[in-house]
């Protein structure tokens, strides 16, 4: 009887979930139409970038495979087919032809491996994927000083809206051009995947700031966003000088970020710069309940130094070196650790900077310091804020009548130590 009741309850939940998705879809479309009416459209070459699906396919190089298909979940370009750096003029991962590495199945360590990692291991040689949404024009003019690159997922429309209105707003500051891009995969397979894809295409027609690849947007696939972006950047952004890369739920003080860049340039320390909230001497988490759990069969030694994935700053020169190095580093299911492995391959280490707080100002979310605007005014990055929190804090921090007791230089190593 209990099982029967559960089945009936699940049967009622399914239509409710579908109705909820329809409601959210209408809400998102309404917000996007409001943005359209406000004239928020991506401009390039002097005209509005606006076209239908066929036009998008021809102009942006949309892949032939669609979310929800087997190729979207598993596929990738075989390593042997990847051309060397510098021999491409456009995104070349167009045909998915990547099957599982069946030889792994017979190995003892794989048979002992936690099943949740099986698919990752069987297909981790699949590296590059077709693009569903592409914007090769975003930094092709060679004038972009700082490229803001934000990891997001289709459902987090409100977070992207908040970022566009605050620290991710495209503009020119003292002659330095700032450009923004969001990195997405494809929605999980299911009956609503097609509707979600239509929504993201509609959003991109308005803003023109989304890069999307045809792999499923999951936690383990965050590393795919890393390697696919590095390849994309190497191909399409010859003149960009610096990259900020982070999540869609962080607060970034853009003024302080630019100040840090200026300091590094003046000190001539920008060439191989990668700065953030650096984690040293970390070891894999063995707690099976943790999001970051890694079994011993997959990795059984300390991690190299790496920056918290919430947000970091790096030079374009280093990004190109990381792209080359990444092709020889086996993919790892935690993206920020993987980037640390690529740095280690280059015999480099990230730089710790106290202005990057990827764990928040204090680790206790209820602490009043986490809501103190003067900390946000002094720091470079704070993680983690919802869309409404970000909009509110951005407004407060930029009020002219906000008076803080002390202004600390963003390159001062003693920055806000008292807040720990």
Q: What is the pLDDT of residues 328-355, one digit of tens each?
A: 999 999 999 999 999 999 999 999 999 9
Q: What average pLDDT does range 228-246 have in this prediction?
A: 97
Element spanning 388, H or E:
helix 387-397
Cα–Cα dist 188/197, whole Å: 10
In a domain, residue 193? The reply is yes
Beta pairing class for 242-247 and 250-252: unpaired
The number of angstroms, rounded, from the C-alpha of 13 to the middle of its chain's C-alpha atoms is 32
pLDDT confidence bin for 30, thresholds 50/70/90: low
Full-model pTM: 0.79
In a domain, 266, yes or no: yes
Non-local CB neighbours of 140 within 8 Å, separated by 6+ positions: 236, 237, 238
Pairwise CA distance, residues 261 & 254, whole Å: 11
For the segment 313-324, what is each residue's pLDDT rounded down to a tens digit?
999 999 999 999
- Between the CA of residue 111 and those of 287, 298, 313, what are the distances in Å? 20, 12, 40
Q: Is residue 336 part of a domain?
A: no
Query: What is the model's pLDDT at position 319?
Result: 98
C-alpha 178/C-alpha 144 separation (Å) is 6
Q: Helices (H), strands (E): how many in the chain?
A: 13, 14
Q: Is residue 72 part of a domain?
A: no
Beta-carbon contacts of 78 under 8 Å, excluding residues fewer than 6 positions away, are 97, 98, 125, 126
Q: How far apart (Å, rounded) are the C-alpha atoms in residues 52 and 386?
A: 32
CATH classification at residue 217: 3.90.550
DSSP 3-state percent helix, strand, coil across the chain (nearest 5)? 40, 15, 45
Give the total residue count for the chain. 420
Q: Distances in Å between the alpha carbon of 223 and those of 52, 66, 104, 220?
A: 31, 21, 21, 7
Q: Which domain holds residue 185?
A: 128-279+308-327+351-398
Q: Round to whole Å and give the CA distance between 203 and 159.
A: 13
* Beta-bridge partner residues of 315: 242
Question: Are residues 133 and 211 in contact, defined by beta-carbon separation less than 8 angstroms?
Answer: yes
pLDDT in tens, 93-118: 876 668 899 999 999 999 999 999 99
Q: What is the pLDDT of residues 359-415, one digit of tens each?
A: 877 666 666 666 789 989 999 999 989 999 999 999 999 998 898 876 555 554 444
Residue 178 lies inside a defined structural domain of this protein: yes
Residue 365 belongs to some domain of the structure: yes
Q: Is residue 135 within 8 Å of 60, Cβ to Cβ?
A: yes
Query: For residue 284, is it within any domain?
Result: no
Taking the alpha carbons at both ends of the chain, their separation in whole angstroms is 54
Domain count for the chain, please give it: 1
Using a pLDDT cut of 90, give the percent of the chain over it.
65
Residues whose CB falls within 8 Å of the CB of residue 229, separated by 6 or more in sequence, listed in order: 149, 183, 211, 245
Name residue, tokens 């509005």.
48
- Residue appearing with tokens 């100002």: 361
Residue ranges of alpha helices (H) inside 38-81 are 53-60, 70-74
User: At residue 3, does pLDDT exceed 80?
Assistant: no
108 lies in a domain? no
pLDDT at 88 over 80: no
Q: What is the DSSP string of 102-124?
A: GGGGGSHHHHHS-GGGHHHHHHT
Q: Cα–Cα distance between 53 and 57 in angstroms, integer?
A: 6
List, as own/partner pairs, every contact residues 279-282 make where C-beta atoms lie below 8 angstroms and the sequence separation is at least 24, other chains included. 279/303, 279/305, 279/306, 279/307, 279/308, 280/305, 280/352, 282/306
Q: Which has the higher per-residue pLDDT, 411 or 273?
A: 273
Provide the CA 371 distance to its chain's centre, in angstroms: 25
Which residues, at least 6 apart from 242, have a Cβ–Cβ distance to it below 8 Å?
A: 145, 146, 147, 261, 270, 313, 314, 315, 316
User: What whole-number distance in Å separates Cα of residue 49 and Cα of residue 45?
Assistant: 9
């Amino acid at each position: 009887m209990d099982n029967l009741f559960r089945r009936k309850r699940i049967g009622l939940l399914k239509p409710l979930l579908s109705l909820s998705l329809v409601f959210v879809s209408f809400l998102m479309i309404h917000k996007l139409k409001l943005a359209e009416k406000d004239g928020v459209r991506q401009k390039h070459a002097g005209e509005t970038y606006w076209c239908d699906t066929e036009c998008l396919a021809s102009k942006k190089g949309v892949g032939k495979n669609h979310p929800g298909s087997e190729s979207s979940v598993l596929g990738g370009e075989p390593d042997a087919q990847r051309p060397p750096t510098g021999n491409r003029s456009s995104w070349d991962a167009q045909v998915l032809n990547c099957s599982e590495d069946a030889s792994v199945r017979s190995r003892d360590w794989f048979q002992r491996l936690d099943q949740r990692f099986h698919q990752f291991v069987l297909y981790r040689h699949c590296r590059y994927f077709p693009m569903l949404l592409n914007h090769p024009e975003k930094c092709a003019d060679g004038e972009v000083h700082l490229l803001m690159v934000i990891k997001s997922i289709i459902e987090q429309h409100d977070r992207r809206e908040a970022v566009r209105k605050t620290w991710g707003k495209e503009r020119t500051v003292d002659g330095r051009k700032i450009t923004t891009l969001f990195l997405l995969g494809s929605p999980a397979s299911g009956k609503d995947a097609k509707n979600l894809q239509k929504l993201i295409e509609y959003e991109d027609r308005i803003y023109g700031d989304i890069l999307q690849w045809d792999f499923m947007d999951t936690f383990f696939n965050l590393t795919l966003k890393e390697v696919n972006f590095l390849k994309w950047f190497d191909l399409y952004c010859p003149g960009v000088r610096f990259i900020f890369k982070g999540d869609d739920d962080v607060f970034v003080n853009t003024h302080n970020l630019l100040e840090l860049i200026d300091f590094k340039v003046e000190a001539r320390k920008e060439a191989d710069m990668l700065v953030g909230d650096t984690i040293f001497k970390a070891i894999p988490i063995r707690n099976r309940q943790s999001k970051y759990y890694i079994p011993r069969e997959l990795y059984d030694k300390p991690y190299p130094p790496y920056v918290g994935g919430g947000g970091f700053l790096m030079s374009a020169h280093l990004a190109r070196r990381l792209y080359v190095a990444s092709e020889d580093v086996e993919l790892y299911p935690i993206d920020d650790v993987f980037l640390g492995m690529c740095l280690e391959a280059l015999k480099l280490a990230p730089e710790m900077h106290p202005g990057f707080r990827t764990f928040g100002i204090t680790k206790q979310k209820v602490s009043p310091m986490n809501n103190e605007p003067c900390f946000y005014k002094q720091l470079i990055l704070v993680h983690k804020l919802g869309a409404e929190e970000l909009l509110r804090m951005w407004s407060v921090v930029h009020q002219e009548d906000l008076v803080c007791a002390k202004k600390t230089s963003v390159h001062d190593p003693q920055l806000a130590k008292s807040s720990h």
